[in-house]
A and B are shown apart, each in its own frame.
Chain A
């Protein structure tokens, strides 16, 4: 059986030298390599009365910020301001902090907790932002992620993704589980479990449904499942193989790969399984479709040129009937996934029998290889475009890893037992 809650081991590394460890965060086994000079030094003072809660809040905030590789946590021992009037700014200047987080928690009737926090600019001695949240005590981790999002956005100008979820496949022995977890690996839940393989989970744009390929019927069939109700239906169950689902940005249609008409070819189908329409026409393999955020284009993998390469075609083919080849370096470029703004995409590039995560900027066609591991697969952009989640292998075991889109920061997410693969980073929650 699968445990209902799986803790990931995080190992964040910033490509550089030296070691700094943070014993206060030992529960997540976070280790940070390096001395990233550009990291923002931030002091997060434990919130007033948070030690009475069933879930510590500031440790979750600190872990979220640290995993991005953009922040350095400043020691707060011996100081405990909870309100702006308590803050002795010169003390925080001396500790090297440029930002300071303070706050308090208040237990409310009905098992509710009110959390108030403020983000202070240490050099200007002003408040940058603040937030008051009241949540059930069972939702304290979510509240902490929400606060981390506010801090991240205030200090970097980018949207935070700490409140998002990820989907992946966990294989333990002969069992396969499609799981959904918070972006930090907590609250893992099995959506389905089978004794046959599951691959290619894909989030609907609203985050309410997952499309995936299951082999439970002794062949690949594409299903769509609603997370809230667990209800699902087969969207593509045609003669031959059915695979590689990708959602259109409006959530109404899927691109899928079918084999019934010869070869593996890309089709469009409505999310209820109606309205099948062929999209790609080649004599070879066309697979791994992925919609651009504006819905106009599909990136896909094709071997029409003799080796698997990434191509782009218009969804409305009257616009441009010919697919355009995007990758030219190397003999194996596969698994494209657009960034949130459609200006770049991530993919897997093989070089000297190493499979690595790469990014191509679409405007300039420039390619950057971000990893140096051996067996990377299934890259998936975070919804703010700042990180890429992918599957890789360490000591023969499948783990998830994340790399920043500039290649500077990496973290590993592994489970205690079993192989973890086929990650897909979910969309931003609706309040964003």
Chain B
């Protein structure tokens, strides 16, 4: 006697009935977790130091620290520039920066995120030692996700091993 089992199929994919793009954001912990990463202008007038940041003759117009392969320390040639930004922060307590660490694209994305963080943390520590306030600096990492130069090979990779200094409100 051959008997067929009778089973009704559970519908698996009902979860994906429509195609959406932007989901509703329900930030449960904007209080304890800080979600304050607004890089766009606050609406009020731009502070005076912004002119310096955009003046090509000012060292403050330089915003990127580049690194040797597998290295995370700020090279001597970038020291003066990093210290100039630290001084600006010290002189302008309302100013704040995001330091964005980046890596080349070899290896694990998450491990590269941690390596990019190490680069940004290094710049942060140098700025903090020079008197910039902790609350004025946020060090984050883009890992290998935002390459400045595409392609592989040392010329592209060397462009991508960097920390960018971005002022909030810019």
Which of B32-40, B41-49, B81-89 sits within the interface? B32-40
Which of B16-24, B50-58, B153-161 sits within the interface? B16-24
Assembly CA distance A239 to B139 (angstroms): 8
A4 at the interface (CB under 8 A from B): yes
* B102-160 interface with A by 8 A CB criterion: 106-111, 113-115, 117-118, 121, 138-143, 145-146
A330 at the interface (CB under 8 A from B): no
Q: Which of A227, A231, A234, A274 contacts B35 (CB 8 A)?
A: A234
B108 x A348 contact (CB < 8 A): yes
Distance in angstroms from A188 CB to nearest chain B CB is: 9
Residues of B within 8 A of A197 (CB): 142, 145-146
Q: Which of B22, B107, B145 contacts A350 (CB 8 A)?
A: B107
Assembly CA distance A431 to B11 (angstroms): 11
Residues of A within 8 A of B25 (CB): 232-234
Answer whether A200 and B21 are a contact pair too, CB < 8 Å, given A139-B9, A263-B121, A273-B33: no
A422 at the interface (CB under 8 A from B): yes
Which of A34-42, A128-136, A364-372 sits within the interface? A128-136
* A187-237 interface with B by 8 A CB criterion: 187, 189-193, 197, 199-200, 208, 215, 217-221, 225, 227-228, 230-237
A259 x B32 contact (CB < 8 A): no
A405 at the interface (CB under 8 A from B): no
Residues of A within 8 A of B20 (CB): 190-192, 230
Residues of A within 8 A of B11 (CB): 139, 142
A142 x B111 contact (CB < 8 A): no
Q: Which of B6, B15, B113, B138 contacts A208 (CB 8 A)?
A: B15
B24 x A308 contact (CB < 8 A): no
B121 x A130 contact (CB < 8 A): no
As a 0/1 sequence over residues 174 to 192 of chain A, the CB contacts with chain B under 8 angstroms (1 = contact) are: 0000001010000101111
Residues of B within 8 A of A218 (CB): 37, 39, 98, 140
Main secondary structure of the interface of A (DSSP, over half): strand
Answer whether A236 and B33 are a contact pair too, CB < 8 Å, given A197-B145, A200-B109: yes
Q: Which of A244, A285, A355, A429 contacts B107 (CB 8 A)?
A: A355
Nearest opposing residue in chain A for B11, CB measure: A139
A378 at the interface (CB under 8 A from B): yes
Distance in angstroms from A43 CB to nearest chain B CB is: 19
Q: Which of A4, A134, A257, A273 contacts B28 (CB 8 A)?
A: A273
Query: How many B residues have CB within 8 A of the partner chain?
Result: 55
Answer whether A241 and B23 are a contact pair too, CB < 8 Å, given A217-B37, A228-B14, A262-B121: no
A163 at the interface (CB under 8 A from B): yes
Assembly CA distance A244 to B33 (angstroms): 17
A259 x B117 contact (CB < 8 A): yes
Query: How many A residues have CB within 8 A of the partner chain?
Result: 79
A189 x B16 contact (CB < 8 A): yes
B8 x A241 contact (CB < 8 A): no
Residues of B within 8 A of A239 (CB): 34, 138
Q: Which of A130, A187, A236, A429 contacts B16 (CB 8 A)?
A: A187
Assembly CA distance A355 to B3 (angstroms): 51
Nearest opposing residue in chain B for A232, CB measure: B23
B108 x A180 contact (CB < 8 A): no
B110 x A288 contact (CB < 8 A): yes
A335 x B28 contact (CB < 8 A): no
Assembly CA distance A165 to B15 (angstroms): 12
Residues of A within 8 A of B33 (CB): 234, 236-238, 273
Nearest opposing residue in chain B for A175, CB measure: B21
A130 x B110 contact (CB < 8 A): no
As a 0/1 sequence over residues 236 to 254 of chain A, the CB contacts with chain B under 8 angstroms (1 = contact) are: 1111110110000000000
A105 at the interface (CB under 8 A from B): no
Nearest opposing residue in chain B for A197, CB measure: B145
Nearest opposing residue in chain B for A182, CB measure: B13
A264 at the interface (CB under 8 A from B): yes
Distance in angstroms from B116 CB to nearest chain A CB is: 8
A33 at the interface (CB under 8 A from B): no
A301 x B34 contact (CB < 8 A): no
A142 x B13 contact (CB < 8 A): yes
Residues of A within 8 A of B8 (CB): 133-135
A241 x B109 contact (CB < 8 A): no
Residues of B within 8 A of A238 (CB): 33-34
Residues of A within 8 A of B108 (CB): 288, 301, 308, 334-335, 348, 377-378
B19 x A225 contact (CB < 8 A): no
Assembly CA distance A285 to B67 (angstroms): 18
Residues of A within 8 A of B16 (CB): 180, 187, 189, 227
A193 x B28 contact (CB < 8 A): no
Distance in angstroms from A137 CB to nearest chain B CB is: 12
A334 x B107 contact (CB < 8 A): yes
B37 x A257 contact (CB < 8 A): no
Residues of B within 8 A of A292 (CB): none
Assembly CA distance A263 to B143 (angstroms): 14
Residues of B within 8 A of A182 (CB): 13
Distance in angstroms from B169 CB to nearest chain A CB is: 13
Report 22 cross-chain contacts, Cβ distance below 8 Å, ordered by A residue. A130-B2, A133-B7, A142-B11, A190-B20, A199-B110, A199-B143, A199-B145, A219-B138, A220-B142, A228-B15, A230-B24, A232-B26, A244-B113, A259-B121, A272-B29, A273-B28, A285-B111, A285-B115, A288-B111, A332-B107, A335-B110, A429-B12
Chain B residues within CB distance 8 Å of chain A: 2-16, 19-30, 32-35, 37, 39, 98, 100, 106-111, 113-115, 117-118, 121, 138-143, 145-146
5 smallest CB-CB distances across A and B, nearest first, come from: A273-B29, A197-B145, A264-B114, A189-B16, A219-B140
